[in-house]
Amino acid sequence: MLLCAWNTVSAQKHSTDEMTFGNPVSEKQHQLKSRYDEVVKGGLGQTARRLLPSEPVSYQGGSLAFVMKTDPEKQNYFTVKLWGEDQDKSMTLLFSEGEQVGYRHLGDIDFITLGNGEKPLPGRFYYVTIPIPLKHTKGKKSVNLEIRSYGEIWGYGETFERYQKNLDKPTLGFYKAYVHINPAFIPSKGEVHGNAPLNTPLRQQPGEEVLVKLKERVNTELKAVLALNRPLNQLELMFVSAASKVTWTFAYKNPEVPVKVVEAIDAHYAKFLQNPDIVFTDPNIYNYEWLITGPIARSILQHHDELQDRWEEKLADEKSRKDAWAAMLKASLNYSTTHRRHYTNQSMIIDMFMYDVNKALTRLRPDLALPESQTLNYLYESVGLRPWLGKETPEGPEKPLGDNYWQLTAKGLTKELGFVGYYGEVLDWVVDIYKSTSDPDIPGSGDPKIREQVLKMFRARLPFRYPALDNDGNKAVRIEAVVGWRDAGHYPGNVLYGDRGMAWDASPLMTPAVTMDPQAIGVAQQMMADNQLFKSIEDKLKLGGIRVTKSLIHIPDEYEWIKKRPATGIRLPMDKSMPDFVFSDEEDGVVAVKNGEEILYASLYWRARNSVNKLAKVHYITPSMDRIANIYIQSEFDDSGMKYTRPNWVNLAFNGSREFYPGIVSAHAGEQEPIASIPEGVRFKPGDESVFAGKANYYVMEYGQYWVAMNTTKDRTFELQVPAAFSKVVNLVDRKVLGSRSLKLLPGTTVVLYR
């Protein structure tokens, strides 16, 4: 049993130092030196400095350099005050003693801001906190800091030009800067914050007329695709085939569709004869190695009966059409089984299209197909119903993460390197997987285990939707993405209730329409009551791409079906009308807390790819402000004895292949961190990314009036000591006042204490 006590710094209520931007006296005291910037009067009449494009315009814009007082012994934190109605797409980073703090993309220590063009918090200020490197403040009473601005980045860009954009517009405004030692920034009394609106209006427009525009777009594109004087590519084929089964579309019972299907697949087979690798390198498909020939397989399944008379026709190589197509499907199946991936969304996409290919192969040449039970088991692995075993090898499953790694937590969240925010919204893929196992003519005929898993996942995501405003100030619900480890630039999160309808392949009503589950229907009804459904459709119509158009096909019928359901009265857990609660997932190291008008999200296992970093990410929401913080916490773990040394990387925290910023030095280069114990049989060396290297057994986080203690083990008990100075502490898990000064945490449990 391990005994742990809080290392409290709660007596430190206010900042070690603070500076007001735009205030000449304060700026002079802090030796401010600025470049390409301007003073503006911003939110609630407060002064701010915003950074401007350079002359000539480049990827780097203005900067603010200043000196701030520090505590020479303790960990210091830097916080900036920002206005919640500022909209930009720039990136800003903190530099300390001339070195870059944190990383530009998916680092465990974050940037200051990365705007996405939305208003994060209308009517209120918010605060962003990141740690200052201890080596820059140890034994010193001040530190040289700088805020530098850059254009937006596209995290997938392989070249500098694609990755880094110019800063061509002013950044958001910086109002105040603070240095403090309390991980939870506590504003001074009298600080201007703003407040959430008392009466939030409902969105009035758009209405059902967007469904007319939706149908016009779908049918216009169908007509254009069917009129093409060439064989269709795979995505066009998948679009046309899916639309041909929906009554209101131009493709429904259109005799041209099966003709185009045969022509397209024959053409793809001809390419296959010239280049067998086309089954996993099709240039017409984004992420072609995931989709393989899945779109072709779906078309075969949807039109199999219509093509019966053409199976024995000979193609150029004298093979029958049935045998030719089957050979191509078999090749893609072989590739897919030997190239499985463990990131959850990728695993699901790969295995779903593999399943579709095998199902089509079973219709053409069952002797070449894998047993249906085998490909169904791959689906079970991807959706967390069986341990994920990896790709097939001549010796059997590779098992790169051992023989007991599950893609989902027991509570239904996707599991990677901690809680997955926007990228963890994979309901669209799991619903699509369920539909792949269904008979399209029989509602609810899909695999029952997968249906139950869809609903488990759906319910596990619901605590991560919080009440907010949309960009126009209307009542809305947004997804929590700040504490998601694969999220960057997603504050505020998208307006999202149930399904992530803005994704390329998703609709906002998929889960309720397919599962017919009362809670899923209730969430859809809440979205419709807030009149955010039609707005989401309107926004999606602004997106281009044939996959987006295909995702629109089922929305009108889904809407008509849900509109006829009786009212459930069900609302999302974070809705103001719902009771307080604590949701925790010890496998992902995440908590979601509703406590009166306050919401607390925290990832305690935060982007610890290579080692135990003792870092957490926090999003603390109150009626008067938001606080976003990168903080150090207590972590107990089994030490492997190995160490990880941070490289001098400033861009991708996990990969040194795109170091596009010569001359910039990382403030963290050379830091050594311990590596947690790696399970026996799992290949690992220091520097490898691993789901095991950074995971702790026990976390304790103090943040303001909240303390979170989490036991992630399956077989250990920890004991938490409550400091004597705290006379009254409520355990928010059971809403009871703590009766003793110590608390035992059983395996796989979490407590959230509130002082």
pLDDT tens-digit readout, 529-551: 999 999 999 999 999 999 999 99
CATH number at residue 662: 2.60.120.260
**495 within a domain of the structure (yes/no):** no
Which of 561, 583, 546 has the alpha carbon at shortest distance from 513? 561
Residue 755 neighbours by CB under 8 Å, 6+ apart: 705, 706, 707, 726, 728, 729
Q: What pLDDT is attached to residue 491? A: 92
Residue where a domain terminates, one of 676, 691, 714:
676
Q: Are residues 262 and 373 in the same domain?
A: yes
Q: What is the mean pLDDT of residues 280-308?
A: 94
- The answer, yes or no, to whether residue 27 has pLDDT greater than 70, is yes
Contact 328, 266 (CB under 8 A): no
Q: Are residues 134 and 270 in the same domain?
A: no
Residue where a domain terminates, one of 362, 384, 407:
407
Q: Are residues 116 and 174 in the same domain?
A: yes
- Tell me how far apart the alpha carbons of residues 418 and 587 are, in angstroms, rounded to a whole number: 8
- Tell me how far apart the alpha carbons of residues 556 and 211 are, in angstroms, rounded to a whole number: 7
Q: Are residues 615 and 739 in the same domain?
A: no
pLDDT tens-digit readout, 689-707: 999 999 999 999 999 999 9
Enclosing domain of residue 133: 7-195+602-676
How many beta carbons lie within 10 A of that of residue 354, not counting itself? 26
pLDDT band at 735 (very low <50, low <70, confident <90, very high): very high
Hey, is 153 helix, strand or coil? Answer: strand
- Tell me how far apart the alpha carbons of residues 513 and 455 are, in angstroms, rounded to a whole number: 12
Q: Are residues 153 and 271 in the same domain?
A: no
Hey, is 560 helix, strand or coil? Answer: helix
- Tell me how far apart the alpha carbons of residues 214 and 183 are, in angstroms, rounded to a whole number: 48
Q: What pLDDT is attached to residue 705? A: 93
Q: Are residues 74 and 35 in the same domain?
A: yes
Number of structural domains found in the chain: 3
Q: What pLDDT is attached to residue 22? A: 98
- The answer, yes or no, to whether residue 165 has pLDDT greater than 90, is yes
pLDDT tens-digit readout, 455-514: 999 999 999 999 999 999 999 999 999 999 988 888 999 999 999 999 999 999 999 999
Q: Are residues 76 and 135 in the same domain?
A: yes
**347 within a domain of the structure (yes/no):** yes
Q: Are residues 170 and 308 in the same domain?
A: no
Q: Are residues 391 and 318 in the same domain?
A: yes
Q: Are residues 651 and 725 in the same domain?
A: no
**321 within a domain of the structure (yes/no):** yes
Q: What is the mean pLDDT of residues 587-615?
A: 97
Residue 521 neighbours by CB under 8 Å, 6+ apart: 512, 562, 565, 568, 570
**211 within a domain of the structure (yes/no):** no
**325 within a domain of the structure (yes/no):** yes
Q: Which amino acid is at 243?
A: A
Instruction: Using CB atoms within 10 Å of the CB of residue 503, give its burial: 0 to 12 exposed, 13 to 18 middle, 19+ buried.
Output: buried
Q: What pLDDT is attached to residue 13? A: 52
- The answer, yes or no, to whether residue 194 has pLDDT greater than 60, is yes
pLDDT band at 442 (very low <50, low <70, confident <90, very high): confident
Q: What pLDDT is attached to residue 8? A: 44
Q: Are residues 663 and 719 in the same domain?
A: no
Q: What pLDDT is attached to residue 93? A: 98
Q: What is the mean pLDDT of residues 97-105?
A: 97
Q: What is the mean pLDDT of residues 82-102?
A: 97
Q: What pLDDT is attached to residue 260? A: 97
pLDDT band at 739 (very low <50, low <70, confident <90, very high): confident
Q: What is the mean pLDDT of residues 244-249?
A: 97
pLDDT band at 740 (very low <50, low <70, confident <90, very high): confident
Q: Which amino acid is at 428?
A: D
Q: What is the mean pLDDT of residues 201-225?
A: 97
Contact 175, 125 (CB under 8 A): yes
- The answer, yes or no, to whether residue 2 has pLDDT greater than 70, is no
Q: Are residues 255 and 387 in the same domain?
A: yes
CA dihedral 231, 235, 237, 239 (to 10 degrees): -140
**268 within a domain of the structure (yes/no):** yes
Q: What pLDDT is attached to residue 7? A: 44
Q: What is the mean pLDDT of residues 220-242?
A: 97
- The answer, yes or no, to whether residue 1 has pLDDT greater than 60, is no
- The answer, yes or no, to whether residue 11 has pLDDT greater than 80, is no
Q: What is the mean pLDDT of residues 5-26?
A: 74
Contact 130, 94 (CB under 8 A): yes
| Start-to-end Cα distance in the chain | 25
- % of the chain exceeding 90 in pLDDT: 89
Residue where a domain terminates, one of 370, 387, 407:
407
pLDDT band at 652 (very low <50, low <70, confident <90, very high): very high
Q: What is the mean pLDDT of residues 104-120?
A: 95
**H or E element that contains 346:** helix 344-364
pLDDT band at 9 (very low <50, low <70, confident <90, very high): very low
- pTM beyond 0.85: the answer is yes
Q: What pLDDT is attached to residue 653? A: 87
- The answer, yes or no, to whether residue 278 has pLDDT greater than 60, is yes
**147 within a domain of the structure (yes/no):** yes
Q: Quick one: tokens of 592? A: 């979601």
Q: What is the mean pLDDT of residues 163-185?
A: 97
**217 within a domain of the structure (yes/no):** no
Q: What is the mean pLDDT of the chain?
A: 94
- % of the chain exceeding 70 in pLDDT: 98
- The answer, yes or no, to whether residue 6 has pLDDT greater than 80, is no
